[in-house]
Amino acid sequence: MKQTAQLGIANVVGVIVCYVVFYMPMNMLLYSGYLVNIPVALEEAARVDGASTWRTYWSIIFPIMKPMHATVAVLTALGTWNDVMTPLVIMSGGGMNTLPLAQMTFQTQFGTNYNLAFASYLLALIPILIFYLVCQKQILNGVVNGAVK
């Protein structure tokens, strides 16, 4: 985290860069596990029909990977939504806070304002819950298809 300060990105941009770096290995493993299950015959058929490599990817492979896109999006969003330590360390002393850091204002050394704290927890839960419910079917398909070898 010292590197973000040296690079001058000890702010929201630094947090985003750290999240991209932290979640990249897991996302790549999920994608590669899913791509192995896509038959090569689809690519060969597209090549016979005259499609270029990019056209094959964007017209055939990318849409087939929709369940894995949803899975990666929800897992990454859930992990970043609930993370407290990364923004706390990187953006310490800054004026802007993430939602979990703002929720920490309801807890002090001498007590906790439980009414406001639990209300903020409930309100913070709603967006990620809606996002998960919208993507639920795709997530299950992505996890099942990416796990089979």
Q: What DSSP element (H or E) covers 63?
A: helix 62-64
pTM summary value: 0.77
What was the pLDDT predicted at 144? 64
Q: What is the pLDDT of residue 130?
A: 93
> What dihedral do alpha carbons 29, 35, 36, 41 form, nearest 10°?
-170
Cα 20 to Cα 23, 27, 77, distances in angstroms: 6, 10, 11
Q: What is the pLDDT of residue 122?
A: 92
CA angle 72-4-102, nearest 5°? Answer: 65
pLDDT of 148: 53
Local confidence pLDDT in tens for the 149 residues of the chain: 677 778 888 888 888 889 999 999 999 999 998 899 888 999 999 999 999 999 999 999 999 898 888 888 988 998 898 888 888 888 876 677 888 888 888 888 888 889 988 999 999 999 989 988 888 877 776 666 655 55
Strand segments (E) across the chain: none
- The three-state secondary structure class of 112 is strand
Confidence (pLDDT) at 143: 62
Q: What is the pLDDT of residue 104?
A: 85
